[in-house]
Amino acid sequence: MRIEIKGYGQVEAGEGLPAIAILKETDKDFAKKACVVLVNGQAKDVSVLPQEGDTLEFLTFDDEAGAHTFHHSTAHIMAQAIQHLFPETKFGIGPAIKDGFYYDVDSPHVFTEADLAAIEKEMTRIVKQNLPFRREELPRQEALALFGEKEEIYKVELINDLPEDAVISVYRQGDYLDLCAGPHLPSTAQVKAFKLMSLAGAYWRGSEKNKMLQRIYGVSFPSKEQLADHLYKLEEAKKRDHRKLGKELGLFAFRDEAPGFPFYLNNGMTLRNTLIEYWRQVHKKWDYLEIMTPQIMRRTLWETSGHWEHYKDNMYTTLIDGEDFAIKPMNCPGSILVYDLEPHSYRELPLRYSELGTVHRHELSGALHGMFRVRCFTQDDAHILLAKEQIKDEVMRITQLFDEVYSLFGLSYTIVLSTMPEDHIGTEADWEVATNALADAIASLGKQYTINPGDGAFYGPKLDFHIEDSLGRTWQCGTIQLDYQLPGRFNLDFINSKGEKECPVMIHRVVFGSIERFIGVITEHFAGAFPLWLAPVQVKITTITDRQNEYAHQVAKKLEEAGIRVEVDDRNEKIGYKLRAAQAEKVPYMLVLGDKEQEAQGAALRKRREGDLGFMTLDDIIRRLQEEIASKCND
């Protein structure tokens, strides 16, 4: 029979051969890595028997679906090990999650960290046995009898909740049987490296009305090197946690008196203002007009915009003179009101309004997370009013601005195109035009994107820019949202080249996403060791003895006059202690002042990563620092 293997084209295969056997005849090495196969787009075990004319696409751990299958198979291996060691255990669910898996279990044994090592040892034995994962499909009553006999009450409950005509599938590996839709790896031997990470409690099916089960989390990889790299990144992530560094470096704080509302400290304000100063420079260069709109506006405005219907549960409201007002959760309606102040011609378009607009959103307390998820934040917003024929060029222009900003911080990115959600406003025809316009613009720049179906804003499709930090983690920051709806709802218009009134299109756009979130991202990206131009304290002046104290403050004044942020450490401590303190504070440069340096009117210069750079005159030091600040390099 003839089938197609994606990447290899049409191949001849014998009938009755499993997909993995056909792949081995085509590419033996790739077959060793295959985790799952898409048969005409449907994920299946690689042992599936293809039919004439099928299209096969084999996925490895490097693919999302492949990694999901890998992790889910490891969950079954862990469950089998638990069954061997603690046979009275009953099993709930064991899904794959991002970067790993977990299993919820009901056991008379209370698991501890010490048990994890024993379970890992048994898992290693199971892996070495090279047990195949075998799929079976059973009649409903037979499946109920099978799991009922084993007193697997949670599996029985799951089966009973399935539709009457549902296919009941189970997977076996050795002496272990599990209710599962699959797919799974060919065998246990493919799981070369794993580690059980933590324990937690979890209510069965997420309801506090049900029994609390024990949840065991783990990670797994095709190689020990990948596991080691993952564990290293986890440790690094703990060290880089922006909440920890924010406290240590005096950037920001959170208080119980204002949950979800950050307090900026002096160093944090310096960092914030430096980012904003750079943002203003970039936006002036790219021809944006900065505006500021009110924090509180009438309910009728939010009803017209659609936010009251779609977002009111997340809005803070108040009564003024007996009338409903809302604290703005978005900046876009304010920009629309600014546009509507006067008539416009096609010659003015695109009209680009930028706004550092502070917004308030009622996030659930459980969702709050440092600077990444707060209730009050400043969006580096822009709203661009333009004609439909200008969309492609403008989206390309915005993306080039994004390139400029993200490359400065050493951040790469991927692009996701989010399409029409169920609760959209506007016609499907408008949505199709808008979605195609975004896709065409990105393709014209030679950039790749993936599609996230149904995740667009209620008023239009969007391009989300997921930036990647130094640990390979991704963060959604920038976005370009194309809006055919709001300008029409507010009856906006401009006079086109034919002298006729025409409704503009609006682009909603942020680069940082929010100042708060971006500060959190770059704090972890740089591990708090900000480049010189961003560092709240750029130079720490340290004295060897009290004799240099007066000179130290003279040096500090000269540096400050040159536009350099500086602090003096003239405490009665040893110089080694002071230098270690400056290193811990992640200050980019240190000036060491002793009698010789004072006499020569200079300083011994030290750099955070390079160490001692030797003696330099103050003029040379200032010149060096000013050049590095101006270059905005990340060293």
pLDDT digits (tens, 9 = 90+) for 318-351: 999 999 999 999 999 999 999 999 999 999 999 9
Mean pLDDT in residue range 567-586: 94
Q: Is the peptide bond before 350 cis (omega within 30 degrees of 0)?
A: yes
CA angle centred on 490, ends 485 and 491, rounded to 5°: 95
44 is catalytic: no
Confidence at residue 321, expressed as pLDDT on a 0 to 100 scale = 93
Reported confidence tier of residue 271, pLDDT bands at 50, 70, 90: very high
508 is catalytic: yes
d(CA 554, CA 502): 63
Q: Is the peptide bond before 183 cis (omega within 30 degrees of 0)?
A: yes
Q: Which amino acid is at 330?
A: M
Mean pLDDT in residue range 58-65: 94
pLDDT at 539 over 90: yes
Reported confidence tier of residue 17, pLDDT bands at 50, 70, 90: confident
Q: Given the residues 215, 242, 283, 361, select the one marked as catalytic.
A: 361
Mean pLDDT in residue range 265-279: 97
Share of the chain above pLDDT 70, in %: 100
Confidence at residue 310, expressed as pLDDT on a 0 to 100 scale = 80
Confidence at residue 511, expressed as pLDDT on a 0 to 100 scale = 95
φ, ψ for residue 491, nearest 5 deg? 55, 40
DSSP state at residue 518: H
Confidence at residue 198, expressed as pLDDT on a 0 to 100 scale = 95
pLDDT at 86 over 90: yes
Least confident of 443-447, 583-587, 620-624: 443-447
Kindly report, residue by residue over 135-163, the tens digit of the pLDDT. Answer: 999 998 899 999 998 899 999 999 999 88
Domain ranges of the chain: 2-60, 65-236, 252-293+331-525, 296-328, 539-631
Locate the DSSP E strands across 424-470.
Answer: 450-452, 462-468
**Helix H segments across 298-427?**
299-305, 307-311, 332-339, 391-408
pLDDT at 429 over 90: no
The residues facing 179 across adjacent strands are: 170
360 is catalytic: no
Sheet strands side by side (includes 412-418) = 289-290, 351-360, 376-386, 505-510, 474-483, 462-468, 412-418, 450-452
Buried b (16+ CB within 10 A) or exposed e, 240-258: bbbbebbeebebbebeeee
Reported confidence tier of residue 193, pLDDT bands at 50, 70, 90: very high
Mean pLDDT in residue range 587-616: 94
Q: Given the residues 76, 272, 283, 383, select the one marked as catalytic.
A: 383
Mean residue pLDDT across the chain: 93
d(CA 128, CA 635): 47
pLDDT at 105 over 90: yes
Q: Which residues, other chains included, contact 230 with Cβ-Cβ below 8 Å and sequence gap of 6+?
A: 99, 219, 221
247 is catalytic: no
pLDDT at 184 over 80: yes
Q: What tokens does 79 get?
A: 């469950």
Confidence at residue 274, expressed as pLDDT on a 0 to 100 scale = 97
Confidence at residue 48, expressed as pLDDT on a 0 to 100 scale = 92
Q: How far apart are the first and last CA of the chain?
A: 59
Can you tell me which residue has the tokens 């799929």? 135
Can you tell me which residue has the tokens 């194309």? 482
CB-CB neighbours of 473 under 10 Å: 15
379 is catalytic: yes
Q: What is the 3-state secondary structure (H, E, C) of 70-124?
A: HHHHHHHHHHHHHHHHCCCCEECCCCEECCEEEEEEECCCCCCHHHHHHHHHHHH
Mean pLDDT in residue range 15-26: 88
Q: Are 222 and 193 in contact (CB under 8 A)?
A: yes
Into which CATH architecture does domain 252-293+331-525 fall? 2-Layer Sandwich (3.30)
d(CA 69, CA 60): 9
The residues facing 379 across adjacent strands are: 357
Question: 65-236 has which CATH code?
Answer: 3.30.980.10
Q: Given the residues 240, 243, 272, 462, select the one marked as catalytic.
A: 462
Confidence at residue 230, expressed as pLDDT on a 0 to 100 scale = 93
284 is catalytic: no
462 is catalytic: yes
d(CA 607, CA 594): 17
pLDDT at 237 over 90: no
Question: 539-631 has which CATH code?
Answer: 3.40.50.800
d(CA 203, CA 199): 13
Q: Given the residues 44, 242, 360, 508, select the one marked as catalytic.
A: 508
Mean pLDDT in residue range 100-117: 95
Q: Given the residues 178, 381, 430, 469, select the one marked as catalytic.
A: 381
Class of domain 2-60: alpha beta
pLDDT at 12 over 90: no
Confidence at residue 8, expressed as pLDDT on a 0 to 100 scale = 85
Q: Given the residues 215, 332, 517, 538, select the one marked as catalytic.
A: 332
Q: What is the 3-state secondary structure (H, E, C) of 543-578?
A: ECCHHHHHHHHHHHHHHHHCCCCEEEECCCCCHHHH
d(CA 214, CA 250): 39
Mean pLDDT in residue range 368-375: 90
Confidence at residue 474, expressed as pLDDT on a 0 to 100 scale = 86
Pick from 212, 226, 246, 191: which is nearest to 73 by CA? 191
